[in-house]
Amino acid sequence: MSNYLNPVRKLATTDRLLVALDFDGTLSPLVDEPMQARMFPATRAAVNALIDAPETIVALVSGRSLVDLRVIAEHDDASQILLAGSHGAEFWYPDTGLVSHEDHADDARLRDELRAHAEAATAEVDGVWVEPKTFGFGLHTRLVDPAVAPEVQRRVDQLVAAQAPHWRRRTGHNITEYAFRHEGKDTAIAELREHVGATAVLFAGDDVTDEDALKTMGEGDLGIRVGTPPTAATVCVADIAELSTLLTVLSTERSASRQ
């Protein structure tokens, strides 16, 4: 606890706090069937305690499409949790519901064509999953034979490079994402910060794509890496359980500081 107690106590005194959290690998373990991901009970309890803390807003920031994020987060229209899906290309707010940045019909058509081509190019390989996403698709290789995975990756990289060289490519834990939108978790945090008028932000994540947001944490903010360095985060925690403990400490300190 000594690793993070002082930064958490300092953060707890800010006027209006945004707690922004990645989902997969941060609040939920990575699983073979991605749509089966769920928060641990202790993690959900920690998140709920933050929702109840004064002047504290909780947001989930994910590369998942918003519709899938709502399923795995068990999020309904009564929830007070804000959502940023597709790396910040679509949002859900309690006061307005869905807010999505516009895209063009040509982008959607190319997305569908490339996803179909990627599925065809990898159809004979066991364990491959080409995940539909609002602004592109994801290539999952978690269940692919490690000896075969590089060839699968090469095929799809070549396909996208030939037909959509302007698309953004991101890598994560056994996934490569391709998107015609260029928003990242850094822009998602910036938009959420402005929307809620936060005076400080906590952001926690576990993957390469989370570093985009961790690098933007300023003085008074707190970046947390679930895992080990290298990272731009100020604090590292060993696993989801330790993050849950940190979030619980924050909610306690936050409530005490606002009395």
CB 134 within 8 A of CB 91: no
What is the structure's pLDDT at 1? Answer: 46
The values of phi and psi at residue 128, to 5°, are: -75, 140
User: Cα(177)–Cα(194) distance, rounded to whole angstroms?
Assistant: 27
Count of Cβ atoms closer than 10 Å to residue 150 Cβ = 11
The CB-side HSE value for 18 (13 A sphere, CA atoms) comes to 25
User: Cα(41)–Cα(130) distance, rounded to whole angstroms?
Assistant: 30
User: Cα(24)–Cα(38) distance, rounded to whole angstroms?
Assistant: 9
pTM: 0.79
Distance between the two ends of the chain, CA-based, in angstroms? 24
> By CB neighbour count within 10 A (0-12 exposed, 13-18 middle, 19+ buried), where does 16 fall?
middle
What is the structure's pLDDT at 214? Answer: 97
List alpha helices for 122-176, DSSP H: 149-163
Listed in sequence order, the residues at least 6 apart from 77 whose beta carbon sits closer than 8 Å to its beta carbon are 97
In angstroms, what CA-CA distances link 136 with 12, 64, 109, 168, 180? 38, 11, 10, 9, 6
Q: What residues does 169 pair with on adjacent strands? A: 178
What is the structure's pLDDT at 116? Answer: 97
What is the structure's pLDDT at 103? Answer: 66
What is the structure's pLDDT at 101? Answer: 67
Which of 253, 201, 196, 198 lies closest to 20, judged by CA? 201
Q: What is the mean pLDDT of each run of 10 residues along the chain (259 residues)?
A: 84 97 96 93 96 97 94 96 93 90 80 96 96 91 94 96 92 89 90 97 95 95 96 96 97 87
